[in-house]
Amino acid sequence: MPASIVLGAQWGDEGKGKLVDRLAGEVSWVVRFQGGNNAGHTVVLGDRVIKLHLLPSGITRKECNLVLGDGMVIDPWVLRQELDNWLQQTGEDPSQSRLFISERAHIILPYHRMLDSLDEKIGTTGRGIGPTYADKINRIGLRFGDLSEVIGDVDWAETVAQRMNSDLSAAGAEGRIEAAQLAQEVAWIHDTFGQTVANTGVMLDNALKLGENVLLEGAQGCLLDIDQGTYPFVTSSVTSRGNATHGAGIHPGHIEQVIGIVKAYTTRVGAGPMPSELFDSDGDHMTDVGHEFGTTTGRRRRCGWLDLVVLRHANRVNGFTSMAMTKLDVLGGIDPLKICVGYRLDGKEIHEMPASSAALARCEPILIEMPGFPPEPLEVWLDLAKKADEEGLGYSALPSAAQAYIRHVENLLGVPITSVGIGPDRDATIERAD
């Protein structure tokens, strides 16, 4: 049954958008199954840089249908702006033809953004994601499929506004919600997206029964998973394989492959422990050469050596059938390269992540060294990737030290790396020859 999942294997920002964009040329449907506009996927097509937050990365393939799935929380105003930007760039509005919003997806309202903006501990994006998921769990959220039921209901608007204002007051927020304004906003959302809302789970199930290929696109990464991540410094949803089909409204038996995306080094945004983090020139090199600034927030990402403890944890949770490594080119010019293979915690050597973030913060990385390889301009890496693809060279086109780095990660993790990115462009990717 032809469904595949693309997941982040670290703390997010691994380059999922680029891979989904490549794979979207082979599928009929691309589905976001969780998260909201706290995600940021970047796709580079020549001189065009496309930054996406809600729209699936398959948007660049006009024959590909797009789904915002059951497990998402969606800001309608951000979605409308993103669609308007796409219309301005391409002349197409996918919401009129190939974009479908799940009737079960929850709606981010201004109230949720106001609450989220008060966070000073976790380092959230402030986009209202957590408060919307909290309302979902508390069974008081608003879904797209419920819009028609509450439009014109004055009692509903007044009751909800009263609850929201009580929460805002208790949290110390200055703003308040007006019932009349809330009613107008709900009506606008319905008028704007009512024709786009659908029973997307049934649509996907029917497509799979007809033999169509479906790609499930995750947001964030495994270490930001609410259950399996570095709690409490995590996102508000389950980012891992177990939620992919559930958040899309189909059953897990449809899945053929699970592709984990791993950056050739490690980054994370926001607060929380990161044992392999660097505070020296090598870390600055990764930041500067890798342009490590968040797509959504613009915040500088923290950079460090590739962490195999993190990847083993992600693989155990997700069962990757293969992995795709991104940004290998960024390591060019660092010598020696290092890989974290374990931690020292309170004088003891460990090889699995502790559940406690306080304990993880005390962990010191155990590092092995490997020879580095020289830097090259992006155009040289792109030409190398194109040559490797045209001549079927695979990884043999890479410098020998880069090849050794890939092989060593494969051996340590026990999962094949089937593609390697050596630049931001869609074509700057080398597929494994064997």
The catalytically annotated residue of 13, 116, 307, 425 is 13
Q: How far apart are CA 99 and CA 52, in angstroms?
A: 14
SS (H, E, C) the chain: CCEEEEEECCCCCCCHHHHHHHHHHHCCEEEECCECCCCCEEEEECCEEEEECCCCHHHHCCCCEEEECCCEEECHHHHHHHHHHHHHHHCCCHHHCCEEEECCCEECCHHHHHHHCCCCCCCCCCCCHHHHHHHHHCCCCCEHHHHHHHCCCHHHHHHHHHHHHHHHHHHCCCCCCCHHHHHHHHHHHHHHHCCCEECHHHHHHHHHHCCCCEEEECCCCHHHCCCCCCCCCCCCCCCCHHHHHHHHCCCHHHEEEEEEEEECCEEECCCCCCCCECCCHHHHHHHHHCCCECCCCCCECEEECEEHHHHHHHHHHHCCCEEEEECHHHHCCCCCEEEEEEEEECCEEECCCCCCHHHHHCCEEEEEEECCCCCCCHHHHHHHHHHHHHHCCHHHHCCHHHHHHHHHHHHHHCCCEEEEECCCECCCEEECCC
Reference 277, options 233, 343, 326; nearest CA is 343
- Report the amino acid identity of residue 109: L
Reference 67, options 206, 183, 227, 187; nearest CA is 206
The catalytically annotated residue of 41, 112, 190, 313 is 41
Q: How far apart are CA 175 and CA 154, in angstroms?
A: 21
Q: How far apart are CA 422 and CA 382, in angstroms?
A: 7
Strand partners, 419: 324, 431
Active site residue 21: no
Active site residue 408: no
CB–CB of 217/55 below 8 Å?
no
Catalytic residue positions, numbered:
13, 41
